[in-house]
Amino acid sequence: MIKKNLCGLTSDELYDLIKPLGFTAANAVSILNNIYKKRISEISQFTKIPFRLINELLNIAESGMFLPVESEISKDGSIKYLFRTESGKEFETVYIPENKRNTVCVSTQSGCRMGCKFCVTARVGFHGNLTAGEIVNQVLAVPQAGKVTHVVFMGMGEPMDNIENVLKACSIFTAEWGLAISARNITVSTVGLMPGVEEFLSKSQCNLTISLYSPFSEERHKAIPVENHYPVMKIMEMVRNFPVKKKRRISIAYVMIKDLNDTDRHLNELKAMLSGSSVRVNLLAYHSTASDQKCSSSPERMHYFKHNLIISGISASVRKSRGADISAACGLLAAGHKLNTPAVPFLSE
Shortest distance, position 157 Cβ to ligand SF4, whole Å: 6
Q: Does 121 bind ligand SF4 (CB under 6 A)?
A: yes
Helix runs in 103-191, H state only: 120-124, 132-141, 163-174
How far are the Cα atoms of 22, 65, 243, 277, 326 from residue 15, in angstroms, in the given order? 10, 19, 34, 43, 42
By the rule CB under 6 A, 124 interacts with ligand SF4: no
- In the complex, minimum distance from the CB of residue 149 to ligand SF4, in angstroms, rounded to a whole number: 24
The binding track of 93-112 with respect to ligand SF4, each residue x by CB under 6 A or -, is -------------------x
Q: Is 114 in the site for ligand SF4 (CB under 6 A)?
A: yes
Query: Could you tell me if 230 and 194 are in contact, meaning their C-beta atoms sit under 8 angstroms apart?
Result: yes
Which are the catalytic amino acids?
Answer: 92, 330
Nearest approach, Cβ of 96 to ligand SF4 (angstroms)? 17
Smallest distance from ligand SF4 to CB 9, Å: 27
For residue 158, which amino acid is it? E
CA angle (208, 210, 215) in 5-degree steps? 150
Contact 230, 161 (CB under 8 A): no
Q: How far is the CB of 108 from ligand SF4 (least distance, A)?
A: 9
Of the pair 121, 165, the CB lying nearest ligand SF4 is at: 121
State phi, psi for 25 to the nearest 5 degrees. Answer: -65, -35
Q: Which one, of 159, 164, 184, 17, lies nearest residue 101 by Cα?
A: 184
- Contact at 8 Å (CB) between 142 and 104? yes
- Choose, by CB under 6 A, the member of 90, 92, 134, 158 that binds ligand SF4: 158
64/323 with CB nearer ligand SF4: 323
Q: Does 331 bind ligand SF4 (CB under 6 A)?
A: yes
Nearer to ligand SF4, 116 or 343 (CB): 116
Residue closer to ligand SF4 (CB basis): 61 or 191: 191
Tell which residue, 237, 306, 308, 238, has the closest CA to residue 273. Answer: 237
For the window 137-156, what string marks contact with ligand SF4 as x by the rule CB under 6 A? -------------------x
CA distance 104 to 148: 7
Give the interface with ligand SF4 as residue ranges (CB under 6 A): 112, 114, 116, 119, 121-122, 156-158, 191, 331
